[in-house]
Amino acid sequence: METSQRIKKMREPALLKYYPIVNEAQKKGRKVYFLNIGQPDIKTPEGFLNSVNGIDQKVLSYQAPEGITELREAACGYYERLGLNYDINDLFVTNGGSEALLFTFIGICNAGDEILTAEPLYSIYKEMAAATDVNLVGFKTYAEDGFALPDESLIEAAITPRTKAILMTNPGNPTGKVFTKKEIEVMVKLALKHNLYLISDEVYREFVYDKQGYLSPAQYQELSQNFILIDSISKRYSACGARIGFIISKNKELMGQLKKLCQMRLAVSTVDQIGAISLLNLDEHFFDGILKEYTQRRKIVYDALQNIPGVICKEPRGAFYFMAKLPIKDASHFIEWMINDFDYQGETVLLSPANDFYLNPEDGADEVRIAYVLNGEDMRKGMSILKYGLEAYRLAFPEVCK
Amino acid sequence: METSQRIKKMREPALLKYYPIVNEAQKKGRKVYFLNIGQPDIKTPEGFLNSVNGIDQKVLSYQAPEGITELREAACGYYERLGLNYDINDLFVTNGGSEALLFTFIGICNAGDEILTAEPLYSIYKEMAAATDVNLVGFKTYAEDGFALPDESLIEAAITPRTKAILMTNPGNPTGKVFTKKEIEVMVKLALKHNLYLISDEVYREFVYDKQGYLSPAQYQELSQNFILIDSISKRYSACGARIGFIISKNKELMGQLKKLCQMRLAVSTVDQIGAISLLNLDEHFFDGILKEYTQRRKIVYDALQNIPGVICKEPRGAFYFMAKLPIKDASHFIEWMINDFDYQGETVLLSPANDFYLNPEDGADEVRIAYVLNGEDMRKGMSILKYGLEAYRLAFPEVCK
C-alpha cells in the first residue's frame, strides 16, 4: 500500500531519534539534562488549573468553530495592552500555534506556491510545508552576526511569481534573534512592494531581554491587509499541553476564508479554552519574575559558552534558545557520543542538532541548539558537562574537531 | 491579497447560514427546536469531569505526539471488548475524528488523487478534500431503499488509476444507514482487488438499533494492511467538546508515515486526554440506557414521519439522523420559511437542508436531515410542528409542493 509523496517528504524531528539511546543511558544510571526541547519548567499560572478544576458542564458540547467569545475577547484585551487594536472578528482560536500555521499555509498557498523565510528556521515549518505541498524557500542568517537579516536585495532576489508570503519568527526559534526596527521595516516594505503576506510567528513575544520594547509588523497600519499574526499560549504561560493558539488578521476576506478551515475541524477543546481565558486576562506584570529567571539562565549559558574555546555565538536577545557553532564537524555524532559514551560524575546533556533547522539537512553540521529551560543550577551543571564533554571529545576524535 | 484556490473551493456548512434568522426569530419570542445538528443532549459520563476537576499538574506540558500511553491502552481495551485486537502502536490520538480524517487524506493522497464514497455524505468530507486537494468521487444511494449500497459493478466503474481509497461512514451520517455484511464484503473485496485503502469512519458505532451486532471491515484479517479506522469519543460519550479522536491501522508503514503528522502539530490537549481515559475504560453497559433513549426517539420521529403525506424515508438502523424526502421542491426555502414565517403556538423547528450532503449542491433539493438529539417530548413537539408547517407551506406555496 502506497503513502503519498507529500507525507514521504516529511521528516521526523532529528531530536526524537536520540530518545532510545537516552533511555539506555538512563537505565545505566546516567542522569541526562534535557537541553534539547522547548518545554519550559515554569509553573503554569494557577488560573488555568483553577478554571479547569471548577468546570461543571453536564454536557461537554461543541463550541463555536472560531472559538469561545469570552476567550477571543480576553485575547483582544491582551493585544490592547500591547498597543494593538484587534476586534474579536480579527481573531480565531486554533489548536495551538501549529494549527494557525497549517491554516495559513492552506489558506494562502496553492500546491507549488512558495513561502520565504530565514534560515535557520523552526523545523516544523518544513514538515508543515511538505504536508501542504508548499515550497519553503530560505535565505541564510549566521551565528557570527547574531542571525542578522541579510541585505534587502538578497531577500528580494529570492522572491518569484509563486512567492505568496514572507514568514518570520520573532523572537526566533532556534536563533533567539529579535528583529530590529530596521529589519522589520525591510520585511514590511518587501511585503507591500511585492504584494505578499507577511506572517509573523510571535509565540515567544514576551521572551525579550535587555528592556527592548515590543516591535512587530503588527504595528504598521499600512500592512494591515497583508499581515497575519500567529500566536500561542504555550510558551508565554508555560501551558504547552493546552492546545490553544490564535490566527489573527485584519484582512476580512482572508479571515472569511480561514473560517471555513475552523468549521472543517468543528471546534477547539472546550476545557482548554475555558482554562485559557484566565491566562489571557493576566496583566503584563505576571511575566516580570519569569523574565528575570530566564535572563539569569541566559547569562549562565552565555558566560559558559564564552569560556569554551572555539564556540561561536552572540548573546541572543529573545526566546530561550542559543544556536551555537561548536568546534566540531558533526554535531549529531557529538550529541550521540555525549549520551552513549560520556558522563561527568554520572551526568550528561542532550542537545538538539542544528541540521533540523535548515532546509538542506547538510547545513548546520557544526551547530547545536541549547534550550535554557532548566533552573539556574541545572543549567550551570549542564554547561560544565558540555565543556568537559567537548574536551574529552577532542581527545577521542581530534580528526573531527576544528 | 489573494487566497488559495483550495480554500476558495471550500464552502461554509449550509446549516450555519440560518443562524442569523434564527436569532431574529428568537428575539421575537419564537422558540426554536434545533433538529439540525448532531450535538447530543445526553450527559457526559461523570468520569470525564471528575478527572478534569482533579488534575493537579503544576506544569501543563506537551504530551507525546502519538498521545498519552494510558489513553492509547484504554482505547485498545475498548476495541478488545469489541473483539478487535489492536496494539497501542496501531493507534494514535488525534484532535477529534476530524484530524484523523485530515491526516488520512494527506497521508494517502497526492494532490489530484481520488477518494470514493457514498452519497449523501458527511458534509465535512467535502471541505477536507478541498483543503487537501483531494477529489471526492461519489456514488449515489437513495432514501427509497434506505440508502442501500448500489450494485458492485456500479461502484467499481467509478474506480480510476487515481483512486486511493473507499471511504465509508458506518453507521452513516446523514443517512443513519448501517451496512449489511454483504455490503461490507463488497467494499472489502473491491479494496483488495484494486489495492485501495478502505477507510471506515465509525464514530456512531454504538448507535445501532434492533440488536444488530458489530459489523465492520475491521473484522476482516485479509484487509488489515488496507484498512484505516477513524474514531472519536464525541458522539459515543456525548463529549463533542473534548477533541479526542483516533486514527488506527495495522499497516506499520502507513502508521510510521502518519506519525510525522502527529509530530507536526506536537500534541493533543493534555487535559482532554486525561479526561478521556475514564471514558474509554467504561464497559459496554454504560451505553444501554442511552441506546434505549435513542431507540424511543427514533420511534417518535419515524411514527411522525409516517403520518405526514408524501414523506419518503425508511427507518434508519443507526446513528441519530433521519434523511427524509419531503413533498416539496426546495428544502432550503422551506427551512427558511419555517424560521421566518411560521410558528405553531409560538414554536418552530430548524432542520438541515440535504444539499450540504451531496457533492453537487443541486442534489438533494427535496431532502432534509433531522437529528433526533432532543428528549422525547421535544422531539414529539418538533415533529408536530414540522407536520403543521408542511401543511401551511402547501397552502402558501402550492407551486413548489409535490
CATH number, domain of B96, equals 3.40.640.10
Instruction: Please indicate, yes or no, whether residues B277 and B324 belong to a single structural domain of this protein.
Output: no
Lay out the sheet containing A352-353: strands in order across: A321-325, A367-371, A352-353
What's CA A159's distance to the chain center, in Å? 24
Residue ranges, chain B, pLDDT below 70? none
| Total of domains in chain A | 2
Nearest CA in chain A to B67: A241
Q: Does B279 contact chain A (CB < 8 Å)?
A: no
Mutate to test the interface with B, among A9, A39, A49, A59 (most CBs of B within 10 A): A59
Instruction: Please indicate, yes or no, whether residues A58 and A174 belong to a single structural domain of this protein.
Output: yes
Q: Is the dihedral of CA A118, A122, A127, A133 positive or negative?
A: negative
Q: Which chain A residues touch B4 with a CB distance below 8 Å? A: 106-110, 113
Instruction: Please indicate, yes or no, whether residues A137 and A281 belong to a single structural domain of this protein.
Output: yes
Tell which of A285, A314, A336 closes a domain: A285
Q: What is the DSSP string of B202-248?
A: -TTTT-B-TT-----GGG-GGGTTTEEEEEESTTTTT-TTS--EEEE
- Terminal CA-CA length for chain B: 47
Kindly tell me the burial class for residue A359, based on how many C-beta atoms sit within 10 Å of its own C-beta (0-12, 13-18, 19 or more). middle
Predicted confidence (pLDDT) at residue A123 exceeds the cutoff of 90: yes
Nearest CA in chain A to B127: A264
Q: Spell out the residues 6+ positions from residue B386 whose beta carbon is closer than 8 angstroms to its own.
A: B304, B308, B338, B349, B351, B370
pLDDT at A39: 80
Q: Does A99 contact chain B (CB < 8 Å)?
A: yes
Tell which of A257, A285, A313 closes a domain: A285
User: pLDDT class for A19, splitting at 50, 70, 90?
Assistant: confident
Instruction: Please indicate, yes or no, whether residues B118 and B130 belong to a single structural domain of this protein.
Output: yes
Asked if the Cβ–Cβ distance from B59 to A53 is below 8 Å, we say no
Determine the distance in angstroms separating the CA of A172 from the nearest CA of chain B, rounded to an integer. Answer: 18
Q: Residue B401's beta-bridge partner residues?
A: B328
Asked if the Cβ–Cβ distance from B3 to A108 is below 8 Å, we say yes
Instruction: Please indicate, yes or no, whether residues B69 and B112 belong to a single structural domain of this protein.
Output: yes
Q: Does B135 contact chain A (CB < 8 Å)?
A: no
Nearest CA in chain A to B96: A265
Instruction: Please indicate, yes or no, whether residues A276 and A308 belong to a single structural domain of this protein.
Output: no
Q: Work out whether strand A91-94 and strand A245-248 pair parallel, antiparallel, or are unpaired.
A: antiparallel
**A224 vs A227: CA distance, rounded Å:** 5
* A247: three-class secondary structure by DSSP: strand
Residue pair A109/A115 in contact (Cβ under 8 Å)? The answer is yes
Asked if the Cβ–Cβ distance from A53 to B58 is below 8 Å, we say no
Grid cell of B268 as nine digits: 493533543
Asked if the Cβ–Cβ distance from A3 to B108 is below 8 Å, we say yes
User: Domain of B362: which CATH number?
Assistant: 3.90.1150.10
Q: What are the pLDDT digits (tens) for A251-284? A: 999 999 999 999 999 999 999 999 999 999 999 8
Instruction: Please indicate, yes or no, whether residues A374 and A263 belong to a single structural domain of this protein.
Output: no
Grid cell of A79 as nine digits: 493585544
Q: Please, what's the b/e burial string for B338-359 (b: 16 or more CB within 10 A of its CB; e: otherwise)? A: bbeebbbeebbbbbbbbbbbbb
Q: Chains A and B: how many Cβ contacts under 8 Å?
A: 235
Instruction: Please indicate, yes or no, whether residues B39 and B56 belong to a single structural domain of this protein.
Output: no
Q: Which chain A residues touch B192 with a CB distance below 8 Å? A: none
Q: Which chain A residues touch B107 with a CB distance below 8 Å? A: 3-4, 7
pLDDT at A14: 79
Q: Does A343 contact chain B (CB < 8 Å)?
A: no
Instruction: Please indicate, yes or no, whether residues B59 and B25 belong to a single structural domain of this protein.
Output: no
**Whole-number average pLDDT of chain A:** 96
Q: What percent of chain A has pLDDT over 70?
A: 100
Instruction: Please indicate, yes or no, whether residues B244 and B334 belong to a single structural domain of this protein.
Output: no
Residue pair A338/A389 in contact (Cβ under 8 Å)? The answer is yes
Nearest CA in chain B to A132: B132
**B319 vs B178: CA distance, rounded Å:** 8
**A354 vs A366: CA distance, rounded Å:** 8
Question: Which 3-32 residues of chain B touch chain A by CB within 8 A?
Answer: 3-8, 10-13, 16
Asked if the Cβ–Cβ distance from A59 to B42 is below 8 Å, we say yes
pLDDT at B180: 97
Asked if the Cβ–Cβ distance from B241 to A99 is below 8 Å, we say no
Q: Spell out the residues 6+ positions from residue A69 whose beta carbon is closer than 8 angstroms to its own.
A: A88
pLDDT at B41: 87
Which of B58, B260, B269 is facing A7, going by the closest CB pair? Answer: B260
Question: Which 185-244 residues of chain A touch chain B by CB within 8 A?
Answer: 195, 197, 225-226, 238-243
pLDDT at A310: 94
pLDDT at B38: 80
Query: Residue B103 sits in which domain range?
Result: 46-282
Instruction: Please indicate, yes or no, whether residues A254 and A356 belong to a single structural domain of this protein.
Output: no
Tell which of A229, A254, A285 closes a domain: A285
Nearest CA in chain B to A111: B111
Asked if the Cβ–Cβ distance from A3 to B133 is below 8 Å, we say no
pLDDT at A172: 97
User: pLDDT class for A40, splitting at 50, 70, 90?
Assistant: confident
pLDDT at A208: 96
Nearest CA in chain B to A235: B61
Q: Which chain A residues touch B95 with a CB distance below 8 Å? A: 95, 243, 265
* B370: three-class secondary structure by DSSP: strand
Asked if the Cβ–Cβ distance from B98 to A265 is below 8 Å, we say yes
Instruction: Please indicate, yes or no, whether residues A13 and A97 belong to a single structural domain of this protein.
Output: no
